[in-house]
Structure 1
Amino acid sequence: MSSLPSNVHVSNHPCLVAKLSQLRSKNTTAKEVKALVHEISLILGMEALAAKITTVSGPEDETPLGYSYTTTTIAPETISLVPILRSGLAMVEALQTLLPSPVPVHHLGLFREPTTLEPVEYYNNLPNHQGEPGSSLAIILDPVIATGGTCAAAVQTLREWGAKRVIVLSVIGAADGVRRAAAEWADGVEFWIAGVDEELTERGMLKPGLGDVGDRLFLTIGK
């Protein structure tokens, strides 16, 4: 694999690597695709959050046996999950499971224009989008990074919104696309990704890739 920027982390977790191999198969059913994306997101999320958030001591509490103990919680900061529609929705539950308290989920709708392969935004429900500060940590959920344009646009949108830092979780990406997205805000964004492919097809699909994960998730292949 060719070199990647220092703000890109490719997991080598053996269970994740094996699950990614299963996800690539054309014989994997839609139900299995959903489960695999969720499980891969859990592993990626654990690795990313272990590295990028910290804990602090909270108030005293008591166990069922009557022993007192000091509680532990995540260090105060505002965290938001930002799935990229459609396929990013399949990653949301994994992060909600990991985080000890509920956090806002803000959706971004972006698609690639078929001829130019450049991103077009069609939906944005970030609150106070005009000038108010955003979250201190925004976590983009985007299963596939191909040309990198869509992910780079999402990063720029969150930066303009006021996010102090961004984590991108992705199942798989093309090397050049990951580099392009990682360069969008090199000091403010970090990527945690399960696998990287070196090539793209003329249609902007990863090779060997795993197909259109949104179509596989929602059974819209051949639309």
Structure 2
Amino acid sequence: MSNLPPNVHVSQHPCLLAKLSQLRSQSTPARDVKALIHEISLIVGCEAFAKGLSSRPGPTDQTPLGFEFQTHQVLPSTISLVPILRSGLGMVEAIQTLLPNPVPVHHLGLFREPTTLQPVEYYNNLPNHISGPSGSGAVSGAEAEAPPSLAVILDPVIATGGTCAAAIQTLREWGAQRIMVLSVLGAAPGVRAAAAEWPEGVEIWLAGVDEELTPGGMLKPGLGDVGDRLFLTIGK
């Protein structure tokens, strides 16, 4: 594997590597593609959050037998998930499952212009409000206008890196203090380009990395078009 920058982390989990092989296969049906994206996202998310999140003591509570115990709360207290449309939607449920409380989900729509392969933004619903601490619901006033401490970009494939870099720049301009990118597979050149967009503020976590891109900007061997495979729009 090509040398990758220190803010890029590629999993070596054996179950994840096996699932990635299953996902690559052209014979894998759409139902299984959806399940594999979910399962791979769950493993990548576990590894990323184990390193990228922390906890603090919360109030005490009692078990059903009446024993007192110390609760814990996840830090940072303000987190937003940002799936990149369309295929990032396939990762949302897995990451929501990992987090102990509901967090906002904001969507970015980006596509690559076919000739230049440059990203074009067509949808952005980043709001001027977020949930309160620990997912407690909407807040008001100055706190409501603050961007999250951590924005988590969800995008199954990093190809040229242009879309990921554009999303990072958008979230940085919005005011996110830190960005975590969770992905299933990336091309080494694209991953390096995305990681260089904001090295001190971004961590990228992937299940695997391919070395090459085709002239059309697809990973080789890759996964095909994940959005098409998830939503049965192959041949559009």
Shorter-chain TM-score: which interval?
A: over 0.9
Aligned twin of 1:168: 181
Could you tell me how far apart the structure 2 residues matched to 1:48 and 1:75 are?
14
Structure 1 residue 73: Cα displacement: 1.4
Q: TM-score, normalised by structure 2?
A: 0.92
Aligned residue-pair number: 221
Aligned twin of 1:61: 61
Q: Does 1:219 align with 2:218?
A: no
Aligned twin of 1:41: 41
Q: Does 1:106 align with 2:95?
A: no
- 2:61 aligned counterpart, secondary structure: strand
Q: 1:24-83: CA deviations, max 9, x gaps?
A: 000000000000000000000000000011111111111111111111111352100000
Q: TM-score, normalised by structure 1?
A: 0.97
* CA contact 2:76–2:150 (8 Å) conserved in 1: no
Aligned pairs for 1:1-20 within 5 A? 1-20=1-20
* CA contact 1:133–1:161 (8 Å) conserved in 2: no
- 1:185 aligned counterpart, secondary structure: coil
Q: 1:183-220: CA deviations, max 9, x gaps?
A: 00000000000110011111110000010000000000
Letter in 2 for 1:155: I
Aligned twin of 1:151: 164
Aligned twin of 1:182: 195
Aligned twin of 1:209: 222
Could you tell me how far apart the structure 1 residues matched to 2:169 and 2:77 are?
21
Structure 1 residue 111: Cα displacement: 0.1
CA RMSD of aligned residues (A): 1.0
Contiguous gaps of at least 5 residues in structure 1? none
Could you tell me how far apart the structure 2 residues matched to 1:54 and 1:197 are?
31
Letter in 1 for 2:77: E
* CA contact 2:82–2:152 (8 Å) conserved in 1: yes
Q: 1:72-109: CA deviations, max 9, x gaps?
A: 11135210000000000000000100000000000000
- 1:221 aligned counterpart, secondary structure: coil
Letter in 2 for 1:20: L
Could you tell me how far apart the structure 2 residues matched to 1:5 and 1:154 are?
19
Letter in 2 for 1:15: C
Contiguous gaps of at least 5 residues in structure 2? 130-144
Could you tell me how far apart the structure 1 residues matched to 2:68 and 2:2 are?
53
Letter in 2 for 1:33: V
* CA contact 2:55–2:75 (8 Å) conserved in 1: yes
Aligned twin of 1:26: 26
